[in-house]
Chains A and B, each alone.
Chain A
Amino acid sequence: MQSRQTRTAYLLIAPALILFIGFTAYPFVWSAQISFTNWDGLNAVKEFVGFENYINLFKDAEFRQSLSVTVIYTISVTLLSTILGFAIALMLQRRKRTSAIYRTIFFSPVVTATVAAAVVWQLLFDPYVGVIDLGLRALHLPAPNWLSDTHWALSAVIIVGIWKRLGFAVIVYAAGLSSLPISCYEAADLDGVNAWQRIRYLTVPLLRPITTLVLITGFIDAIQVFDHIFLLTSGGPIGSTNVMSLYLYNQGFKLFRLGYASAIGWTLFTIVLALTVLQWQIRRRSER
């Protein structure tokens, strides 16, 4: 009986397990192997080079630049989308009747195909016909060439990153806000607490688990960014938006350096893992 149950259990998880082994576990181990070779992705021979790829990686100025671009991008997008998401969720809380409509509007970028969105953003950022620069010029403000200026390109892709991420933060915070105990607020009202103090001393601490969730998923999401940057700037100009996954892609699939690209992938994975563990620790400590 027991063994039959076990067999059924294995049978039931088999489809998911096969997919996991085939599309996650196997490529995972395989790319680790490749990262110790100088394989070009085509050659019949995969020459073992030990830790050479990893050593070269830390001597590679372009990799260091892409690492710092990735850090700036990740922190900016995660923090700003979280803060904005929280603020918007608070405002929506007051508009009970229309909040469903607003939530749909803010969530729509999350489910919009990135390619389609990137095409639209490219037009918006256009220095001559783009709405953004036309607006800035109308206000007599400097209108930068967003995607082609080394000082502005990273800001431009960060703006798109926030736009894409914001909806998720709004929805999660809105759900969190609606589940907060009313009794706390009633007690606060009796004590004559003003609106700012309510947010500062009640809402923010009560929502801490939600904030941790939004931050962790935000970091993991942003650090792996590829699609809209690939479409908008391809990492340029002069590497100013060259995030790590884009650098990995170019090394592996344009320069035939699959071994090196795998080493970048494993370095990225190690960073994500370390950050996740760190955030878990912080979360556990704060929950105690």
Chain B
Amino acid sequence: MVKPVTFPWGALLPKLQAAIASGTTPALAATDIAWMANMNQSGKLVNLGSALGGIKKATGDIYPQLLTYGLYKGKLQSLPASTNNLSLFYNKDLFRKAGLNPNKPPKTWAEMRTAAIAISKLGDGIQGMEIYVQPGEGLTWQFQPYLWQSGAGFLNKANTAPTFNSAAGKTALQFLVDLINVDHAATAGQWGAFDKGQAGMRIDGSWMVGGYRNNAPFEFGTAMLPIPDGGVHATNMGGEQIMAFKGSAASQAAAVKFISWFTSARIQARWDVKTNFMPIRASVANSNVILKHIAEEPALKAFIDQQKYAKARPAITAYPAVSDAFSKALEPAFYGKISVAEALANADAAVRKALSGN
């Protein structure tokens, strides 16, 4: 029998750390991909490749870019449970009020800026665009798409040095900083204005679609992320990995059986319909269940179209420290306390330090 236990996103990691330290690991767990590099080193994960008759057989038609997080020293230690990406959410009611076409969401940064300024002119504390500025992985993962779209990188290919401190990186950060401090079309502060109908636009994941459909006090739309002139499409890839922990033979066998069932095309299609996550397999994406679901929920189309531009964050153990250092160095720039050049230079130094393990 499977006994499911769910935790808020932030509480799961401490629970797993305690479980691993005290030898009381569950039979299996699903966690954020951003933590997988650390989970992989625990020495407590079951080799799913050998348990499921080889990596090829275990993974089948799962998209190859989703396998990065599960592979460790040539072993498959986890499988994707779900995947997702960031797209643009916008408030159609506020678009109408500001005299914008609610069926023509912005496609470029310039259009996004124009729309944000128009909406912020509505007054009453309404922001044109809500920007995530609280330090931590939230800020980093929301900002990375801007870097990639403008042609900047985050880390080099070997994940040994930062590459964001470039002209393109400055363009990306300056765009958001100006939206806040020059255009006054956004405020640096707490997250949540869009949910209350107090912001015209926000970048967020497909898991928000169901909640907004049922509860949002406004009509919402979604679109692919706007890109700068001469830029490229890019978004961030989110998701969870499912893994089995070493234990008794019976518990391991049961956990592996569950993972195999859970990641199967049939169950994944049902999972995606319930959660609005994106398909992990081609066969799921093309299944009738999913095609029908997308037809019924048009807000998902942007996410589906965008998934092919989703980039994976570095799968290295230093990533949590890198992301934290990066976000903390950028935060003062959003508040207009330091220049964009200074923030990126600070971030560059802090990320190098985090990569070196100090």
Contact = CB atoms under 8 A, between A and B. Distances in A.
Interface of A: 38, 40-44, 56, 62, 127-128, 145, 147-150, 234, 236-239, 250, 252-258
19 contacts: A41-B17, A42-B17, A42-B41, A42-B42, A43-B42, A128-B124, A145-B189, A147-B189, A149-B189, A150-B335, A234-B136, A237-B133, A237-B134, A239-B135, A250-B136, A255-B321, A256-B320, A257-B321, A258-B17
Size class of the contact patch on chain B: 35 or more
Interface in B53-105: none
B332 interface: yes
Contacts of B248: none
B39 interface: yes
A237 B17 contact: no
Given A56-B358, A127-B125, A145-B187, A237 B38 contact: no
B324 A250 contact: yes
B260 to A, nearest CB: 25
B188 interface: yes
A246 to B, nearest CB: 12
A157 to B, nearest CB: 13
A238 B42 CA distance: 33
A128 B125 contact: yes
Given A40-B38, A145-B189, A256-B38, A237 B324 contact: no
B340 to A, nearest CB: 16
B42 A44 contact: yes
Interface of B: 10, 13-14, 16-17, 20-21, 38-39, 41-44, 124-125, 133-137, 187-190, 198, 317, 320-321, 324, 328, 331-332, 335, 337, 357-358
B175 to A, nearest CB: 20
Interface residues of B: mostly helix, strand, loop or mixed? loop
Contacts of B20: 41-42
A37 B320 CA distance: 19
Given A42-B42, A43-B42, A237 B321 contact: no
- Nearest 9 A-B pairs (CB), nearest first? A148-B189, A44-B43, A41-B17, A128-B125, A42-B42, A253-B14, A255-B321, A255-B320, A43-B41
Contacts of A257: 321
A52 to B, nearest CB: 9
Contact of B189 (A38, A41, A237, A258): A237
Given A41-B21, A234-B134, A128 B13 contact: no
Nearest to A46: B21
Contacts of B188: 148, 237
Given A42-B17, A254-B13, A255-B320, A238 B39 contact: no
Given A56-B358, A128-B125, A147 B190 contact: yes
A236 B38 contact: no
A257 B321 CA distance: 9
Nearest to A125: B190
Contacts of B125: 127-128
Contact of A255 (B10, B124, B324, B358): B324
| A127, A150, A238, A250 — most chain B CB neighbours (10 Å) | A238
